[in-house]
Structures are given as C-alpha cells and as structure tokens.
C-alpha cells in the first residue's frame, strides 16, 4: 500500500513491487509481485531457491536488504519481511522523493534489492567455481590518461579504458599467452579476455584455503572496484579460484615494474613520487592501506603512466600469503618490525625507502646493499636490525635536488607520526612543481626513459 500526496490530501493505492534478488554484480533476477501485502517470508525464500535451482547444493535460509544509511538489515521472519516492505514503500517526498514518477503523475517504486545469505558451503574445494566478475563501472570508463597527474588533470584525454564485458571470468574465458613474472608468492601471466579482447595481467597465487576463506577473499576483493576510478592505481578486472589457486586479473602494463630498470633518473623519479603520493592518497580516502609498497609493485607503461599495484585490500589474502610464503619484507617500517600495528604511516615509510632504492640503484642500507650485490645473501635478522637500529637512509644532497632529498626525509622518519601523510605529500614542493608541468611533457619524460631502459636491458 502506497500513500501518495495529492494537494493537501493523501490517497491510498495498491502498488506492485519488484524484488530484485542479488546474486552478484553481474547476476540479479527481478521478481514481480502484484500484491506485496500478501507475500510471506517463505515466498521470498522459495523465489530465491528457484533462482539458485541450477545448483542444488545452494540453499538460502535468510536474506538482507539495505536501509537508508546503506546498512545491511537481516530478514528472518514474516514480521521482519513486512517491516522491510513497509520501509521500502513508505513515501519519501519530504526528502525529495525516491520514487520514479511516470506520465500519469503516480510514483513507480524502484526495485527492492535483497541479498540471499547463509548458503550451504561447498562440499569440496570451490565446487561452485567461485569468482568475482567486475563489470565496467562509470568510474572505470573515465580514467584519465595521466597516472602522473595532479588531481586537476582529471579532464585530460581518456586513455585505454577497455575492461571486461559483463560476465564471469575463469580459465575458459581467458587465453594465456606467456609468463611475464615469477615471484615468491605467485606467477604473473599475460592473457587476453576472449570476449572483449582486453589484454590483462593474471597473477596466480597458490594457497591452502578453506571454502569460507575463499568466499571472504572474493567479497573483500570487490572493494577493488572503488579503486578503478583513480589513474594512479592499477585497474582491477576480476578474480576467481581454480582449485587451490586464486587468480587476480588486472590491467596490463607493458613496461613492467620499476625494479627491473636499474637506476631511475630524477626527472622520472619526480613523476614517480607524484603518482605514488596521489595513489596512496586515493587508497587512504577509501580507508585502504597498501601494505606492500616496494619498487616491484610500481608499474609503468609505454604511454608514460605509473601506477601502484598489489595493494592489500583483502586482509584475508594478505594474511594467507604471509602464512604460506614466510619471509621478511625489506621495506617494512620500524614500528612493524617491533610488532606495532600497521598504519598509513607504515606505507609512507615503504614509499620513501622505495624512492631511495630507485634513485641509488641499490638497497638504501649500504652494508646490506654490498652483501646483496656480492650475492652473499642477507638473512631476515640483518634486515630487521638495520631498520630498527640504523639511521634512516638519506639521499646524498650533492647528487640530488633539495626537493627530492627533503621529500625522502619527510617519508623516512623513524618515529611514525613524524612522517607526512599522503595528502601532505601531495602538497610537497616536489609534487606541486612537477604537476605544474604540461601533462604531455610529464608523460613524455617517463615514456622516453622507459624506451631507452628497455633498449639497454635488451
């Protein structure tokens, strides 16, 4: 029953309702209800069961909806169902109106979205072929061609904004081409999405996970959609599980990671500093910490774009990788070495250490760099002792500009709260002066350097 204002009076009318059963970003099924007052909780469960009929191992026992604040509200009874319907069908004209008005002046209710919950777990590892398939979003279609730019460069010409078409992502939808990287925690392959023709980088990580851990990882990875609107962050296309491997599909950057190209000259470093500063600022605006800033997680392409990748949006995935691939992160902040909590300041330390390494061409702790260069190896305890006990690395002022030297100092403070936050780094003189240069010039500096570096490295 809908109360519709008509002048100073109100009339009561019967209004059909559409309940949208939400299974994923790509699969939603509309259920048209002619008489909402008569529907029962069991009716909704039966409708959900029909939608899930293709897999008899799934069974929803309740569902959720979102209130006006976006919070999830649980429905497990007829009483709670009717409260949900009444909330949805209540007039909201005083707030500007949530109904869509048709030509007759009467409102047409938007769909009421429900989220099935408490499905029975899979009997074996990923028998439901769990996956996250990310459809193109509005933000992903307006990516700037400038991953080096300040925020006032948002109106620059759009770059390559191809993304997967709506649909599931899996081994059968990808054509794997060749291996482009092989690290401690996984293998990266170049692949093409068969339907859209999009080239993607697919990172495969082998983990021993329960079904519930797989589900949690995929839910957390959906947050990556929010990051697709930033030109400083690698675009995320989707993820899926294959047996005990999680495969992450992201934008392909043809220049690879910055750690592959030796010493990075200061004109390029200034652009790197700007891009990462704005990238970290964007992540932090979403309350996401990267957790693994290092040269191998900064990518470049032949257009001159520089982007952050492999950030820890999924705490379950980060923890699982840490359990499986034991080791010490050489870019770990001092407070992390002694067991304190990870904060955004920890990302800033890793950022500063990475800039130092790229500028010098060696790990910025001299005693460790010598051992690494001599192939003698460095044990984790040596790294931790240097990080905690030694002075923070600095760039030699005789070889670098005062701007870059000071920028690194602002990042590499032993006491966490003395480091600048990402939004403060974006206002540093090095970044602001770099961003004042024409966009084409900044992209050209990086693109030309990459071309020369690739030629030298074969």
Per-residue DSSP letter, 75: E
- For 189-193, the CB contacts below 8 A with 24+ separation are 190/252, 191/249, 193/164, 193/169, 193/237, 193/249
Residue 140 token pair: 């992903």
Under the phi-then-psi rule, with left for phi > 0, alpha for psi from -120 to 50, and beta for the rest, what region is 300?
beta
What is d(CA 432, CA 380) in angstroms, rounded to the nearest whole number? 38
Per-residue DSSP letter, 13: E
Is the separation of the CB atoms in 249 and 237 below 8 Å? Answer: yes
Does 222 appear as a known binding residue? no
User: Is residue 71 flagged as an active site residue?
Assistant: no
Pairing type for strands 112-117 and 17-22 reads: parallel
Burial class (CB in 10 A: 0-12, 13-18, 19+), 74: middle
Is the separation of the CB atoms in 304 and 260 below 8 Å? Answer: no
Burial 313-349 (b: 16+ CB within 10 A, else e): bbebbbebbeeeeeeebbbbbbbbbeeeebbbbbbbb
Complete DSSP assignment for 175-234: EEEEEEEE-SS-EEEEEEETTT--EEEEEEEE----HHHHHHHHHHHTTHHHHTT-TTBP
Helices 366-373 + 380-389 axis angle, to 10: 160
153, 292, 347, 403: the active-site residue: 292
Nearest to 112, CA basis, from 44, 160, 203: 44
Residue 293 token pair: 């800033």
Residues forming the annotated binding site for ATP?
A: 203
Residues forming the annotated binding site?
A: 203
Q: What is the set of active-site residues?
A: 292
């Amino acid at each position: 029953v809908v109360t519709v204002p008509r002048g100073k009076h109100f009339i009561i009318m019967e209004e059909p309702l559409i309940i949208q059963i939400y299974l994923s970003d790509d699969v939603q099924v509309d259920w048209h209800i002619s008489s909402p007052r008569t529907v029962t909780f069991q009716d909704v469960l039966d409708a959900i069961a029909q939608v899930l009929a293709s897999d008899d191992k799934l069974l929803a026992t309740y569902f959720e909806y979102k209130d006006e604040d976006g919070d999830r509200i649980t429905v497990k009874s007829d009483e709670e169902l009717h409260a949900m319907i009444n909330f949805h069908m209540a007039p909201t004209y005083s707030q500007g109106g949530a109904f869509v008005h048709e030509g007759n002046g009467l409102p047409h209710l938007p769909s009421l979205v429900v989220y099935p919950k408490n499905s029975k777990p899979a009997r074996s590892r990923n028998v439901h072929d769990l996956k996250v398939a990310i459809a193109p979003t509005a933000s992903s279609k307006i990516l700037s061609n400038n991953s080096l730019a300040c925020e006032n460069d948002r109106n620059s010409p759009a770059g390559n904004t191809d993304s997967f078409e709506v649909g599931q992502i899996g081994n059968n939808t990808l054509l794997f081409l060749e291996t482009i990287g092989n690290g401690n925690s996984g293998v990266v392959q170049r692949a093409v999405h068969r339907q859209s023709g999009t080239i993607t980088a697919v990172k495969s990580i082998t983990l021993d996970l329960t079904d519930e851990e797989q589900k949690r990882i995929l839910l957390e990875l959906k947050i990556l959609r929010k990051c697709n609107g930033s030109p400083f962050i690698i675009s995320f296309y989707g993820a899926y599980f294959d047996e005990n491997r999680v495969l992450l599909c992201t934008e392909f950057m043809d220049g690879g990671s910055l750690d592959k190209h030796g010493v990075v000259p200061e004109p390029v470093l200034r652009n790197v500093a700007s891009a990462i500063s704005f990238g970290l600022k964007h992540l932090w605006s979403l309350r996401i910490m990267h957790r693994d800033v290092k040269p191998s997680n900064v990518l470049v392409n032949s257009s001159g774009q520089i982007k952050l990748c492999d950030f820890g949006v999924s705490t379950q995935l980060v923890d699982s990788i840490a359990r499986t691939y034991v080791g010490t992160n050489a870019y770990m902040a001092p407070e992390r070495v002694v067991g304190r909590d990870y904060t955004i300041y920890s990302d800033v330390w890793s950022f500063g250490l990475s800039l130092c390494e790229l500028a010098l061409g060696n790990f910025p702790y001299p005693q460790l760099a010598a051992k690494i260069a001599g192939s003698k190896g460095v044990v984790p305890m040596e790294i931790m002792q240097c990080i905690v006990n030694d002075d923070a690395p600095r760039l030699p002022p005789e070889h670098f500009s005062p701007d870059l030297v000071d920028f690194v100092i602002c990042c590499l403070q032993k006491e966490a709260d003395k480091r600048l936050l990402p939004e403060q780094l974006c206002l540093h003189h090095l970044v602001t002066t770099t961003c004042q240069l024409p966009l084409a010039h900044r992209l050209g500096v990086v693109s030309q350097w990459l071309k020369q570096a690739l030629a030298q490295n074969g």
